[in-house]
Amino acid sequence: MAKKEKDKSKSWSHIAKNNIFMLKIAFHVAPEIVFVPLISEMIGAFINFLAYTYILRYVINGYQQGKTITELVIPLLVIYCALFIFRISVDMYYTLRSPIINLKMKEYVRKLIFKKNESVELACYEDKEFYDNYVKASNDIENRISSVITSVSNIAWMFISMVQNSILVIIIDPWLLIFSVIPLITTFTLGKKRNSIQHEYDMKRQEEERQRDYTRRTFYLNDFAKEMRLTNIYRVMFERFDKSVKNIISYIRKYGFKLAVIDYAISQFQDVVSSMGAMLYAIYRTLVSGTMMYGDCIAIINSIEVLSYVLPDTASTFVGFHRNSLYIDTIREYLEYEPKIKGGDIPAPKTGKLELKNVSFRYDGQTSDVLHNINITVNSGEKIALVGHNGAGKSTLVKLMLRLYDPTGGEIFYADRDIREYTLEGESGYRERFGSVFQDFRLFSMTVTNNVLLRKKRDGDDELVRQALRDSGAYDKIMSFEKGVDTVLTREFDDNGEVLSGGEGQKIAISRAFVKDSGIVILDEPSSALDPIAEYKMYENMMRACENRSIVFISHRLSSAVLADHIYLIENGKVIEEGSHHELMAAGGKYAEMFMLQAQNYIDNESEVRV
């Protein structure tokens, strides 16, 4: 199978399809980004031939033949005026217009990557191979488009140059073409070998550079700041950084020598065998045998010099298409990846019963299920608590409800329909029916309003945001800032930005659930940084503000579970007890034991034990 894929990557049809794929992307953004370089190179090749080869032959031979100064100078002026106008026009385009088009191109391909990244399932972020492809695609797509366009325009320049100079050489002496073919054979012979070595080197180097860059991020990102300063993990990161650098150096030594030898062989055949051989032959015919005019001799030297570069460069460019194709394979593999979690065609109703029937789940690569035959019902307007020890499967269960994963067994229904039948994204999408807050939330370096809404602002949103902040308990803190809800959070881009504590940040995240008009609110341990009183008050506010909405929440503190209509106790991926708080306490089972243990510890130690 691997051999078949390798053979496919070498086929010219596959290479052509890959390069055309990149050209289509460029053409979609702006056709001129393809056509202008192509046409300018063709015109440039024609004018350069006239200016540096044909006109020299014309002037020198004309002088030798006794033509007048006027006959010699007028064609010279015309050609050089055309060359001047052409170069000014090209320079103006690439100075004024090209940067704008290139910026649009970068914007488009970045959005292309972002859009694909947003559409793939959560499991892709846990797949090393997929993540590697994402990094390689996002790092290389812009350069690869430019490389393909450059290769196409170079082919056009080379074709025009080759045809013009070949015709001139054939007119003067056809035997001289032999000198220009030698580098072509060399480049074709060694070029593909060089590409394979270069590609292997680049792939291995990129993997090590990703390891090195990860180490670099841990030293400047705020997420790692405390651990880096309060522990000795920085020594481990130093070792990891050194190892990556040493590996990169070893790759340079291993592959650099091979590449240098191939490059040297190609250049020697081009410079020594081809150019010098043709030059000596032309000089012999001009000065020794007297069978070639002076202008023809100079023109031949120029033309052979051009052909000795154009022919092997043409081969190199075709080999370059092969090199591009190797990288484009990775880009296409990423962009053409079909998400495993796809939406259906039916708009999701705004409210409805959520029901999990015999749901089981196993992560890719694992040998056992993390959830076993889970049966949970969330009726419209019902408040559900999921409780249990860390690692019991509660967060995984929530991700299944949100369809970030699909169950490996059983079914999930919403409004009496399998959730796989509903559209996934957009205003009528299934996920839009949920407001969710997670323990590992993130605040963006944007205004408070943006951080609460997590969408574009609309008319009437100001009061909506303020009310959400009141309900979450963050209002007083935010309004103490000079700019209120327009305050930028973090100081990454604004020196006047505000840095919130963990608890205040969690309140901002919680306000996101209040502000969203969704039928079901899911809270996955959103209050871990809040004190018990603040947490209880937050849940009370949540119950009041979401009176007509369903709520599913996970909390370490069982005191909050008292507010739920129904409680599910999960252990080792199974529901072992369920019922209201009073029913479970009366049953005297595991839940009652855990609740009393927490209550006793809180009374004795004035703190809560997390379970």
Share of the chain above pLDDT 70, in %: 89
CA 366 centroid distance within chain: 27
Token pair recorded at residue 29? 């953004």
- The pLDDT of residue 510 is 85
For the packed helices 532-545 and 502-515, what is the interaxial angle rounded to 10 degrees?
10
What pLDDT band is residue 400 in, cutting at 50, 70 and 90?
Answer: very high
DSSP at 176: G
Token pair recorded at residue 93? 């385009």
Supply the DSSP string of 74-93, one letter for each residue: HHHHHHHHHHHHHHHHHHHI
Residues with Cβ within 8 Å of 572's Cβ and at least 6 positions away in sequence, in order, are: 372, 392, 393
CA 272 centroid distance within chain: 45
Query: Which range, of 91-95, 556-560, 587-591, 594-598, averages the lowest pLDDT?
Result: 556-560
Residue with tokens 């070639």: 292
3-state SS, residue 463: helix
Nearest CA to 409 among 362, 341, 372, 360?
Answer: 360
- The pLDDT of residue 272 is 63
CA 178 centroid distance within chain: 48
3-state SS, residue 342: coil
Q: Name residue 575's beta-bridge partners.
A: 570
Token pair recorded at residue 602? 């809180």
Edge-to-edge order in the sheet of strand 417-418: 371-378, 354-361, 409-414, 417-418
**How far is 105 from 95, CA to CA, in rounded Å?**
16
Other beta carbons within 10 Å of 171? 10
Task: Domains for the chain: give ranges and CATH numbers.
Answer: 2-335 (1.20.1560.10), 354-605 (3.40.50.300)
pLDDT exceeds cutoff 60 at 352: yes
Supply the DSSP string of 249-302, one letter for each residue: HHHHHHHHHHHHHHHHHHHHIIIIIIIIHHHHHHHIIIIIS--S-HHHHHHHHH
Q: Name residue 374's beta-bridge partners.
A: 359
Nearest CA to 526 among 610, 439, 608?
Answer: 439
Token pair recorded at residue 583? 């029913």
Query: Which range, of 96-110, 259-273, 435-449, averages the lowest pLDDT?
Result: 259-273
3-state SS, residue 577: strand
> What pLDDT, in 10s, does the model give residues 121-149?
877 777 777 777 777 788 888 888 998 99
Give the H or E element holding residue 384.
strand 383-387
Query: Which range, of 151-155, 269-273, 464-468, averages the lowest pLDDT?
Result: 269-273
DSSP at 122: G
What does each C-alpha distance from 361 to 258, 270, 372, 394, 410 come to in angstroms? 50, 63, 7, 12, 9
Using alpha carbons only, how large is the chain's radius of gyration in Å? 35
Asked if 568 and 387 count as a contact pair (C-beta separation under 8 A), the reply is yes
Give ∠ CA 437-443-446 in degrees, rounded to 5: 130
Give the H or E element holding residue 568.
strand 566-571
What pLDDT band is residue 312 in, cutting at 50, 70 and 90?
Answer: low
- The pLDDT of residue 176 is 74
pLDDT exceeds cutoff 60 at 3: no
Other beta carbons within 10 Å of 122? 12
- The pLDDT of residue 607 is 44
Q: Name residue 554's beta-bridge partners.
A: 386, 524
Q: How many CA atoms lie within 13 A of 46 on its CB side?
A: 8
What pLDDT band is residue 2 in, cutting at 50, 70 and 90?
Answer: very low
**What mean pLDDT do residues 194-203 have?**
81
> Please, what is the average pLDDT of the chain?
83
Other beta carbons within 10 Å of 363? 13
The amino acid occupying position 258 is: K
- The pLDDT of residue 605 is 47
Share of the chain above pLDDT 90, in %: 26
Token pair recorded at residue 168? 């001139």
pLDDT exceeds cutoff 80 at 282: no
Token pair recorded at residue 478? 């935010």
Token pair recorded at residue 284? 């012999």
CB contact burial 15-48 (16+ within 10 A = b; e otherwise): beebbebbbebbeebbeebbebbbebbbbbbbbb
- The pLDDT of residue 274 is 65
The amino acid occupying position 75 is: P
CA 17 centroid distance within chain: 22
**What mean pLDDT do residues 399-409 have?**
92
**How far is 611 from 602, CA to CA, in rounded Å?**
13
pLDDT exceeds cutoff 80 at 1: no
Q: What are phi and psi of 413, to 5 degrees?
A: -115, 145
The amino acid occupying position 464 is: L
Token pair recorded at residue 277? 């051989």
pLDDT exceeds cutoff 60 at 486: yes
What does each C-alpha distance from 321 to 23, 105, 462, 472, 515 come to in angstroms? 12, 20, 54, 57, 52
What pLDDT band is residue 609 in, cutting at 50, 70 and 90?
Answer: very low
pLDDT exceeds cutoff 50 at 171: yes
**How far is 605 from 611, CA to CA, in rounded Å?**
16
Token pair recorded at residue 147? 């490389």
HEC string of 556-567 equals CCHHHHCCCCEE
**How far is 217 from 559, CA to CA, in rounded Å?**
39
